[in-house]
Amino acid sequence: MAGLLVLSVIVGYFFLGKWLVGRAKSWPIKLLVLVGLILFPTADEIYYRIKLKRFCENEAGFKVYSTASKLAGLLNDEVVYPDYLKLVNVNFVESRNISANKITRLSRTEKGAIESTTVPTISAKYQLSTKKIDTGKFLEYEVFISDRTTKIKLSSLKNLNYYGGWFTFNVLGSIGGSGPTLQGSCGYSETGIDSYKLINSTFTK
C-alpha cells in the first residue's frame, strides 16, 4: 500500500514537472526548471555523500591513539567466560553483573593459570565500550577503549553505514517493499569488529 502511494506521488511529480517545463517560455528557463526538478528530491544525497566521504577518510576503521600497560586491567561488561584471558593481552579483566550486583575478575596466577573471583570494587583503569548511533540516514557503530577516569579514548574500531538521502531512503525503499537498503559503508561492519585486535593492539606495555 505504501509503495503504491509513493508511486502515485512520483507520477504526480512527473506530470507537475512536465507542466512546469511546458509553461517556461524559453529553453534556458526550461533547462533551469528541469535541473531544479531533479535536484529538489535528490540534493541532500550530495551532502550526505560528502559527509560519508569525510567520515571514511578521517574517522572510520581501526585507530590506536595511545597504548597502555597490561597491568592496568580492563573493564568489559560482556566478559562471561574464563578463557577470555587466553585471547587478550591484559593481566586481568573485570565485568559487572548489574542485576546480581556482582563484580567478577578474571586474572592470571603466578603459575599462568586463570582464576575467577568476586571483588567488591572495580580496579581496572580502562574500559571497553560500544556505541551505536542511528539517525535513519546513517548508522554509526563503534567499539573503543577509554580511560575510566578521564574518558580519553586510547583506541577505536568504527564503522558507518549509509542508507541514502530522502529520495533513496523513502521513495526507492518503499517501492522495493523491503525498506531502505545500504548505499555505502566504510570501516568495520558490526559483525566484523574484532575487539580482541583492539585490546591486543592497545595493551602493549
More confident residue, 36 or 148: 148
**pLDDT at 170 exceeding the cut of 70:** no
Q: What are 65-96's pLDDT values in tens digits?
A: 999 999 999 999 876 677 888 888 899 999 98
Q: What angle do CA 185, 143, 126 make, to 5 degrees?
A: 160
CA distance 73 to 127: 8
DSSP 148: T
181: its cell numbers: 537498503
pLDDT at position 35 is 65
Q: What is the β-pairing status of strands 61-64 and 126-134? A: unpaired
Q: What would the pLDDT profile of 188-199 be if each residue is shown by its tens digit?
A: 665 556 788 899
Distance between CA atoms of 3 and 162, rounded to whole angstroms?
A: 22
Cell numbers at 4, concatenated: 503504491
Q: In a 3-state reduction of DSSP, which class is residue 156?
A: strand
Pairing of strands 114-119, 102-108: antiparallel
Say how far apart CA 158 and CA 190 lie, in whole Å: 9
